[in-house]
Structure 1
Amino acid sequence: MIYPVVLCGGSGTRLWPSSRRAFPKQFAALAGKQSLFQKALARLGGPEFGAPILVTNDDFRFLVEEQAAALGLLDARILLEPAMRNTAPAVLTAALTLQAQPEALMLVAPSDHMIRDTEGFRTSVALAAQAAQKGALVTFGVEPDRPETGFGYLKLAGPAAVGQMVAVSGFVEKPDRDTAAGLLEQDNVLWNAGMFMFRVRDILQAYRQHAPHMLALCEAAVAQGEEDLGFFRLAADPYEKIEAISFDYAILGKAESIVAVPLASDWSDLGSWDSLHAVSAEGPEQLSQMGPVTAIDCENVLLRSEEENIRLVGLGLKNTVAVAMRDAVLVASLDHAQDVKKTVDALKADAVPQAEDYPRFYRPWGWYETLCLGERFQVKRIMVKPGGILSLQSHVHRSEHWIVVAGTAQVTVGDSVKLLSENQSVYVPLGEIHRMENTGKVPMYLIEVQTGAYLGEDDIVRYEDVYNRD
């Protein structure tokens, strides 16, 4: 049995504005209707795979659960890291949850990579399983096609060939352009795809040998951890003491019996807009068009609009990326796609909310988005999923009007509890205790109009909350 371990707690900035700290790229539908995280889960499912272990953090726990459930994965084990400590502790804690099955195989994979050839990928996984069952630590590699400076490289003991396993003789971490160009000329070099396979007992032994202090802290984090609403929350005190270090540095660079399997499929880390353009561009003009967009006399261009009511038109553009969202627009040269992080840094320096906040805010009960914001008023659109319950709360500085536009809402205002159906509304006076719940079987949508002197999200006094939020 192969247990997928999917790492889905990180955040990136090079795909801003679609990817932000509050909603990183693995949860975005960048290539199709499913998110990259969901695509990863789909290719790691089937009779040869056990229930996946999903490693994330508190910010994304309900988003991970919801997107997994949308695929019918109700048995996934979700581990919550109390602090970001890179990949080495994440892999180790996942292994510790499987230590009762020492002969089981673990397949560690990022949640934000794109692989379209699932059959070819699984062929490579089957080959890797043969080596892992014999005690090898297996890493997956990709044949390089350009002098990429953003990837790590695997140096092999012999020529790399799809369908064959080759011993790893060394690692090169994100080289400069001249070094990358030299590596490209060699036949025994692969990009490091950041995916690994091994038996549980072999990887635990590797940590005992090469990272014993980390092993002790992770064992304590698991032993002192606790179940929380279907998640497993690792204990914060020991986990926060762990060094932040990658799995490659902590283990692979020190261990023996490292084997590389060249992927028999396509692969992209989708780390920037130019990499998304490379896998999605079509036709002789090399156009990548996503959402309501129109390209006129354009060449080598990516156009993306994430709002159905915002039509993005490119006229006479060349070598350009343009991304339109409700609250932000990016226009950049594809040659500078790797530098989008500078944009985020500049926005953060100016305290611009769009640097990290996403226009749609996800909550365990659903989501909300601001449609209009002015002095002393705000209009929101709210979706409450079936079974979703907002906390019993009150506000000190604002009153609210709720108008149901789809579905049915069970509404508590003071001592009154009643059902509101489509086109019905209710008024929540300032200071009144209130709650909203979707007791139906379809999503419930409503428009909320807030009025008052202060409209911030921290103007909430909670009395009860089924999601154990403060």
Structure 2
Amino acid sequence: MKFDLRDPACQPCRRLVPVVLAGGSGTRLWPMSREHYPKQLIDVIGSDSLLQATVRRMDGFPDDWEVADAPLVVCGDEHGFIIDEQLRASGVTPHLIVEPARRDTAPALTLAAAFTCGPEKNNDAILVVMPADHAIADVKALQRAVELAARHAQRGEIATLGVPPTRPDTGFGYVRVGEPLGDGAHLIERFVEKPPAELAAQYVANGAYWWNSGIFVMRASTWLDALRRIRPEMHAACLAAVAEGAMHGTRFDPAAKEFARAPADSIDYAVMERMGGPDAPCTGVVVPLDAGWSDLGSWDAVWDALNKDADGNVARGRVVLDGAMSTFVHAETRLVACVGTTNVVVVETPDAVLVADRSNVQRIKGLVARIKAEHAPEAETHRKVRRPWGFYDSIDHGDRFQVKRIVVAPGARLSLQMHHHRAEHWVVVRGTALVTRGDEEFLLSENQSTFIPLGVRHRLGNPGKVPLEIIEVQSGAYLGEDDIVRFEDNYGRCASDRAAP
């Protein structure tokens, strides 16, 4: 059964609202995952992105529950247009809550809870909170666990899904399960942060510690009341940000000034670690999840989640293996050959190649930090950069020149802009271009070209019904993406914005 997210007439204790937390940078899956295009947006284990797979996990939920007609997706501004584009391509029209700043998962959830309840708390619902970057092999098993958790949430409890561990793992937090409740769920005794290897082995042998999946189920009002008692400053800042925020179609923008006052913290630290203690704001329960869950926090986890050949290898793209064992290879743009490799990860992208021993993949986060400290662009962006109007791909560059392939979606256009340090040549290779150059406006067809002198206002648009593709050759003393002055823009970017065109 479906309902409109903002319709207060629905029965509150039967209403489920999927809340997808789509922030984060996913640096452990570098070089596929970058800060400006993180792992939740990539197809790391299938043809769909992890985000696209996540938003469909409540499809087909038992009919005696009312499930929101669209998920709430909480994300950052730089990823909002990509998320909207991906989900609409999957047939989903999401409600986006776009955070004006990064504040971790607790403020993100609080925005969703406050948005759902409304200012008078008369539109309460049960929130099913899911990270956008996890893998689930058995969706029906997940739904059964969520349904049990939702029955506890009806009673004002906060439920988390715990995964009985199959091995010691230092990459996960743990939940110590307490008293059984007779339906498969347990009271939460306490949360435990990621342990060292020896302690993780003890947890698994003990049997009373489950992996913390990061999936939570609770009524929106329950979360808000708990946070008000424990973290009143975060509660006040987030509620003020929602009260002063604004809707733009299906996108909600919380007030930036008010949200900036919210301290950054995770759901676990802010509230869940209080569960089981004397100062617990409410009852916490943990429900077992046996659904082939993985948080895909490393390339080793990705290898583990995918089908393997007889020698334990996973190969994606153009890959040739000879005598390889337990090897993961992902190739995007060229042939990758591995001979005699064992327990190795190889990830090839157009601008970076990673080679790592599988036992050391947790060190990739530190490696990316080093790359970022050297101000190398590969830490943050791919060679192919997506924009609200389409994308550009930096094909080649040299002393005083750069070549880009630019693709503009039908009906879209870039900002009206100029550059202080570079001129540009445009050659249309597909579609029709509407060009603004100074006081001129004219059309270019395939195989036609134009020149944009340094310092001249210009704009590129696609008036047609097929994607416009051009080759741009830039020349000048400085070719950085911050050499852009905007005068007009369809996407709300101002002249001081230092992003790409």
TM-score, reference length from structure 2 = 0.89
Query: Contact 1:287–1:301 at 8 Å: present in 2 too?
Result: yes
Indicate whether 1:90 and 2:108 are aligned.
Answer: yes
Cα deviation digits, residues 149-202 of structure 1 (max 9, x gap): 1211111124799x7222211111111222111110123321010011111222
**Deviation at residue 229 of structure 1 after TM alignment:** 6.9
* 1:2 and 2:12 are equivalent in the alignment: no
How much does 1:124 deviate?
Answer: 1.6
Contact in 2 for aligned 1:410/1:436 (Cα 8 Å): yes
CA distance in 1, matches of 2:345, 2:420: 45
Matches within 5 A, 1:323-362: 323-362=347-386
Equivalent in the alignment of 2:52 = 38
Q: Any conservation in 1 of the 2:22–2:40 contact (CA below 8 Å)?
A: yes
Please tell me whether residue 138 in structure 1 is matched to residue 159 in structure 2.
yes
Considering only aligned residues, what root-mean-square deviation do their CA atoms show, in Å? 1.9
Aligned twin of 1:395: 419
Structure 1 residue 417: deviation in Å? 2.5
Secondary structure of the structure 2 residue equivalent to 1:232: strand
Q: Residues 131 and 411 of structure 1: is their aligned pair in 2 closer, same or farther, counting only changes over 3 Å?
A: same
Aligned 1:289-308 pairs, distance under 5 A: 289-307=315-333
Q: Aligned partners of 2:405 and 2:291: how far apart in 1?
A: 42
Residue 290 to residue 331, structure 1, CA distance change in 2 (3 Å): same
CA deviation profile, 1:330-366 (whole Å, cap 9, x unmatched):
1111111111122212323333222223212221111
1:257 aligns with 2:283: yes
2:98 match: secondary structure: strand
Comparing 352-361 with 263-272, greater Cα deviation is found at 352-361
152-161 or 105-114: bigger deviation: 152-161
How far the C-alpha of 1:419 sits from its partner, in A, is 3.0
Distance in 2 (alpha carbons) for counterparts of 1:31 and 1:94 = 28
- Asked if the contact 1:102–1:199 (Cα under 8 Å) also holds between the matched residues in 2, the reply is no
Q: Name 1:23's counterpart in structure 2.
A: 37
Do 2:26 and 2:38's aligned partners in 1 also have CA atoms closer than 8 Å? yes
Match of 1:225 in 2: 245
- State the alpha-carbon separation in 1 of the partners of residues 181 and 347 from structure 2: 38
Distance in 2, matches of 1:154 and 1:129, equals: 19
Contact 1:377 1:451 in 2 (8 A): yes
Residues of 1 paired with 2:321 and 2:180: CA distance? 44
Amino acid corresponding to residue 383 of structure 1 in structure 2: V
For residue 452 of structure 1, the aligned residue among 467, 472, 476 is 476
| 2:299 paired residue among 248, 260, 273 | 273
CA contact (8 A) 1:159 1:187 kept: no
- The offset of 1:405, in angstroms, is 2.1
| Deviation of 1:44 (Å) | 3.2
C-alpha distance in structure 2 between counterparts of 1:216 and 1:195, whole Å: 24
Which consecutive unaligned segments of at least 5 residues does structure 1 have?
none
CA distance in 2, matches of 1:395, 1:45: 48
Distance 2:307 2:328 in 1: 8
- Distance in 2 separating the partners of 1:199 and 1:190: 23
User: Structure 1's 241 and 332: CA in aligned 2 closer, same or farther, altered over 3 A?
Assistant: same
* Residues in 2 aligned to 1:114 and 1:197: alpha-carbon distance in whole angstroms: 18
Q: Report the Cα offset of residue 93 of structure 1.
A: 0.9
Matched-pair contact (CA < 8 Å) for 1:281–1:302: no
Aligned 8 A contact 2:31 2:354 in 1: yes
Which residue matches 1:122? 143
Q: 1: CA distance between counterparts of 2:213 and 2:129?
A: 11
Q: Is the 8 A contact 1:214 1:242 kept in 2?
A: yes
User: When the two structures are superposed, what TM-score results if normalisation uses the length of structure 1?
Assistant: 0.94
The equivalent residue for 2:186 is 166
1:280-314 Cα offsets, whole Å, 9 max, x none, are: 1412211111112111111000011122xx11111
Segments of 4+ in structure 1 off by > 6 A?
none
Comparing 263-272 and 94-103, the one that deviates more: 94-103
Given the alignment of the two structures, is residue 54 of structure 1 paired with residue 80 of structure 2, yes or no?
Answer: no
SS for the counterpart of 2:133 is coil
Identical positions, percent: 44
Q: Distance in 1 between matches of 2:202 and 2:241?
A: 43
How far is 1:63 from its partner? 1.3
- In 2, the alpha carbon distance for the partners of 1:401 and 1:125 equals 56
1:107 to 113, 120, 128: 128
Distance 1:300 1:159 in 2: 39
Structure 2: any 5+ residue segments left out of the alignment? 1-14, 275-279, 495-501
Q: Distance in 2 between matches of 1:375 and 1:218?
A: 49
> CA 1:172–1:25 in 2, change beyond 3 Å: closer, same or farther?
same
Cα distance, 1:264 vs structure 2: 3.3
Match of 2:97 in 1: 79
Label 1:106 to 1:190 Cα distance change in 2 as closer, same or farther (>3 A): same
